[in-house]
Amino acid sequence: MEENSSGRSDKVRIVRSNYDIVLIMLVVLLSVFGLVMIYSISSYNAARYYNNANLYFERQGLFLVIGLVMMLVVSMIDYHIYIRPLKWLFGIRPIWLLYVMCLGLQLYVLLNGYEAGGSSRWIRIGSLGNFQPSELTKICFILLVAYLVQTVPNRINYFYGFIAVSIFMLPLLVLVALQNLSTAIIMAGIMGVICFVAARKKGYFVIVLAMMAVFLVFFAFVADYRASRIESWLHPETVDPGSQITQGLYAIASGGLWGKGLGESIQKLGRINEVHTDMIFTVICEELGIIGAIMVLAVFLMLLWRLLLIAVNAPDMFGGLVATGVLTHIAAQVLLNIAVVTSTIPATGIPFPFISYGGSSLTVLMTEMGIALSVSKYTNRERATDES
């Protein structure tokens, strides 16, 4: 009995040394909290329009299970495999296959995408709902930019090195920007931050910021609806008091310090369209108050801190840059979502990570967490080797 007990404890010890348990707990905490909030927010409208109060809760729960499985499976894979030439792929690196696949999916969406909410950003997948290829493209961006930068680390110290990386990434960036500018902004931010972190000489990033600003302004006015959103943001007096952003601000203000209580939101009763997706943070403020919102943001800060530790302690440059890209993605999405719901910037379709309803977003975020856990796992193994 003692030997079996000792064996079991050794196995537990091995698991704890190979995985960032704190990161896993934070991800699960945010996801389960999101599931609770989705039920609280969506049950009324789901029962009203679909005669099933649990509709969104059940769907999100399914994607949460899929996402957790994806996270655990991906975490067991050596993250170097994405950039290694594989014999059974005729010496092709998997990252290039992912790049070509993402290009194909973005072209398909551009030409024949499923339209919802006035935008054609999705591919319809039967009863499972819609898949948004731009979410998968974020993973491709993180892995490929990290790979390109670590391949020629000295060149990224100069402006021409950044341009060389941009040439590879520009086709994907433009295809995404044509249909989903907010996601393209996040992707451009991921590329910029990874290059900035890797470069020892950072002066030329002033020019990079100017280039990104021009890119943003150009694509902001390509579509008429984007120009109208900016106009409404600049002149809120012309906006309908019943608009989504205005009602969201009412929700935030009415929550006060402690909130109305879980399930007690008024704004969720049809006053905010699709409140369980991009605008979910407003009802968190209404039901849980400013204190509840601060606690949610504190969990995100802890999550970002864990990712920062993984990036800093990574065993190689590629692992550190990948963890940096994942950190940037989550931080940018949190900041942009809060900026939108507080009317700090014009309205965009950015979900609140791990909490907003959406299968594509949740499963992709879980997959990214799996990649970060893989980096952390090999970091711990390298430490154990050094100590021994």
Q: What is the pLDDT of residues 221-279, one digit of tens each?
A: 666 666 666 766 666 656 655 567 777 777 888 878 888 888 777 777 766 667 788 88
Residue 37: how many other CB atoms lie within 10 Å: 26
- Looking at per-residue pLDDT, the higher value among 14 and 280 belongs to 280
- Domain around 121: 2-387
Tally of domains within the chain: 1
- Mean per-residue pLDDT, 325-336: 94
The answer on pLDDT for 371 being more than 90 is: yes
Maximum alpha-carbon separation in the chain: 75
Average pLDDT, the chain: 82
The answer on pLDDT for 5 being more than 50 is: no
**pTM of the predicted model, to two decimals?**
0.87
Q: Report which of 372, 346, 12 is spatially closest to residue 182, judged by C-alpha positions.
A: 346
Please report the pLDDT score of residue 101 as a whole number: 92
The answer on pLDDT for 298 being more than 90 is: yes
Burial class (CB in 10 A: 0-12, 13-18, 19+), 222: exposed
- Looking at per-residue pLDDT, the higher value among 3 and 112 belongs to 112
Per-residue pLDDT tens over the stretch 124-179:
776 666 778 888 899 999 999 999 998 887 888 888 888 889 899 999 998 888 87
The answer on pLDDT for 349 being more than 50 is: yes
Q: How wide is the angle at C-alpha 20 spanned by C-alphas 14 and 25, nearest 5°? A: 115
Please report the pLDDT score of residue 296 as a whole number: 94
Q: Which residues touch 272 (CB under 8 Å, ≥6 apart)?
A: 244, 247, 248, 251, 279, 282, 283
Q: Report which of 277, 306, 314 is spatially closest to residue 130, judged by C-alpha positions.
A: 277
- Mean per-residue pLDDT, 354-365: 89
CB–CB of 179/120 below 8 Å?
Answer: yes
Q: Which residues touch 243 (CB under 8 Å, ≥6 apart)?
A: 232
Which amino acid, 335? L
Q: Report which of 304, 287, 288, 283 is spatially closest to residue 353, judged by C-alpha positions.
A: 304
pLDDT category at 334 given cuts 50, 70, 90 is very high
String of b and e for 291-318 (b: at least 16 CB within 10 Å)? ebbeebeebbebbbebbebbbebbbeeb
pLDDT category at 90 given cuts 50, 70, 90 is confident
CA distance linking residue 235 with residue 218, whole number of Å: 21
- Mean per-residue pLDDT, 11-40: 78
CA gyration radius, the chain: 22
